[in-house]
Amino acid sequence: MGFRVDSSVLGRVAPAARDSGRQLACLLRSGCGIVNDMRTSPKNAYPVVLQERDLGLLRGLFESRTMTAAHAAAIYFDGSREAAKKRIQKLKSAGIVGERRRRVFEPALLLLTPRGTDAIRERGILAEYPALSGAALEKRGRVSDLTIRHELAVMDVKAAFYEAIRKVDTLSVAEFTTWPRLHQFEVSSGHGRPEAVVRPDGFIRIHEKEADGGVSEHTFFLEVDRSTETQDVLVSRAHCYLNYYKSGGFAVKNGAPRSDFKDYPFRVLMVFKTAERRNNTAERLLQGTPPILTQVYLSTLDEVGKNPLGTIWIRPVDYREATVVSGGSHFKKLSFVTIVEITKDHGNFML
């Protein structure tokens, strides 16, 4: 489903989105070095010299609001928990990163302190995000326990992708944002229903090096379900994504006319707590009008946590075709696919 990234394609990507993606990709690379002129700049009014990797972590904390040290290690420290532990401790001592204690058997949560927010504001990073007042920033930092559990599940998925992609030479993470407001959109789910605001749990761009030296880009929206939504809500949201694609809304988001919507494919990754919940959603997507057959890929938190690049994803069309008759009984023998098949499949979402 990916498209080749060359000068013509990049020209069609919205400048703001393109610049943000490039800066994010730079910040996510570990060991980028020390920020230029950091030691002499007024921006270095901190008891620690901030590195590019530090700023990537602070950006990530600003977007996600919280994460564990294990998440930080997977995303920003090449999987090294020891390196993450040492560096995070320095950032804590400097008052740039804070910590929210939990139960004894639960890992502490990392938080961005006001000093940390000042650090990324002074470097112009906050200018890339929606403007928020001081009161709005404070309110956004107050996260309920229920919301924390959901956001940690999203971060589990993000960390798993980084861990897996790091092991594949031809793949790299170009962007993985987890602030819903950054990629929210308004669209109708169809049949004359009013437009609704859809706030994705994540937006992912993965680059793949081709044998001829070119680069393909594969795009995904992420929805993590912790069994708190009804099936009707999940199906309606899936139809919103389908209409966002078919109406050209995503093409417009990338600076192209609506008529070019086929040049901007994306898939929706839905991740569930249980296999039963996953299967029920697949069946409901088949019953929709129109049915959603191939745009949505479904898996479980457990499987994604082990290896999101593995043969763990199922599409509604796969679920439909998996009915097997044996001894007069019907049962499902599911056939799963890998993310490689996801990224290579540029077919019609409606089949």
10-residue mean pLDDT profile of the chain (351 residues): values are: 48 40 38 34 66 95 94 97 96 94 86 93 90 79 82 97 94 94 91 89 94 90 93 95 96 96 95 94 93 94 94 91 60 66 52 40
Residue ranges, CATH 1.10.10.10, the chain: 31-143
- Other CB atoms closer than 10 Å to residue 20's CB: what's the count? 16
Q: Measured on CA atoms in the order 274, 276, 279, 285, is the torsion positive or negative?
A: negative
Q: Give the pLDDT of residue 343.
A: 56
CATH: 1.10.1060.10, 3.30.70.270, 3.90.320.10, 1.10.10.10. Which one for 31-143? 1.10.10.10
Q: Give the pLDDT of residue 323.
A: 64
Q: Which residues pair with 105 in a beta bridge?
A: none
Q: Which pTM value belongs to this model?
A: 0.82
Q: Which residues pair with 173 in a beta bridge?
A: 206
Q: Give the pLDDT of residue 33.
A: 33
Hunting for tokens 């600003």 — which residue is that? 62
Distance CA 80, CA 214 (A): 30
Q: Give the pLDDT of residue 342.
A: 57
Q: Give the pLDDT of residue 328.
A: 53
In order of 24, 118, 307, the CA distances from 298 in angstroms are: 27, 39, 14
Q: Measured on CA atoms in the order 39, 45, 48, 53, is the torsion positive or negative?
A: negative
Q: Give the pLDDT of residue 193.
A: 83
Alpha helices (runs of H) in 211-333, residue ranges in sequence order: 231-246, 249-253, 275-287, 301-306, 316-320
- 3-class SS at 79? coil
End-to-end CA distance of the chain: 14
- The amino acid at 181: R
Q: Give the pLDDT of residue 38.
A: 34
Distance CA 344, CA 329 (A): 35
